[in-house]
Amino acid sequence: MTLDSLSEVLSSDLADLSAGERISHLYERLGDRIMATTSFGIQAAVTLHLIHEHAPKIPVVFIDTGYLFPETYHYMEELMSLFDLDLRIYQPTHSAARMQAIWGDLWDQGKEGAERYAMLTKIEPMNRALRESGADVWLSGLRRSQSKTRQNRAFVERQKNTIKAYPILDWADAQVELYFQKHELPRHPLAAKGYVTMGDWHSTRPADGDDAEATRFNGQKYECGLHLDSKTSDFQI
């Protein structure tokens, strides 16, 4: 079965299932082919708890860009003390200090600089994680309500050489909030300070009445690069 055909079949399978059932179904059908990612961001506890409850053997990859808020690292430690998960941490081949010395603030150098930054800190490490794990199916906590670029996504879709699955794609903000309350999940420390989405410290700010898309990259974009096809031919994502 081709990746496109498998994506269509899986997307149809998941449509009428609950989020937990979607994760169980994906793991039962795909086994070692699947891995998940987390940013330890504002809603990360929801997807991690679902994996913990329904398929804890799925490897969970965390891309540590080196530019995350200190609170994110503390949140990671808190959640990993609660959940039984196979966490695998990937980092850029260049340290933050080395990148700064060579290129300066890439994120503040227009489109070309931002694209190089995304490639170095997120896309290359994620591609490496997929390659080393042997996975070609990537489970992510994307939701349609988060941004305009996500509104028309299917539950499962192909992105280059990878299949991506979104078990909480159809959840509204209210469902996320209800899940937090029902399972008494801890919140990201910066949620109380007005942050509605989470990324690197230099490109994320509190909402201050704006929608989530306006809080990332000065409102110029929402996606960091991981959830859009990279332009590098030898990359899986």
* Residues recognised as catalytic: 224
Q: Is the dihedral of CA 80, 140, 233, 96 positive or negative?
A: negative
CA distance 176 to 179: 5
User: Which residue is listed with tokens 């490897």?
Assistant: 59
Contact call for residues 31 and 57 (beta carbons, < 8 A): no
Structural element, H or E, at residue 70? helix 70-82
Q: How far apart are CA 163 and CA 139, in angstroms?
A: 9
Considering just the CA atoms, what is the radius of gyration of the chain in Å?
A: 17
Burial 59-88 (b: 16+ CB within 10 A, else e): bbbbbbbbbbbebbeebbebbeeebebebe
Kindly report the three-state secondary structure assignment for every residue of 144-161.
Answer: HHHCHHHCCCCCEEEECC
Q: Is 121 helix (H, G, I), strand (E, B) or coil?
A: helix
Query: Which amino acid makes up residue 158?
Result: R
At residue 203's C-alpha, the angle toward residues 72 and 61, to 5°, is: 45
Q: How far is the C-alpha of 1 from the C-alpha of 85, rounded, in Å?
A: 30
Determine the Cα–Cα distance for residues 224 and 205; give it in Å rounded to an integer: 15
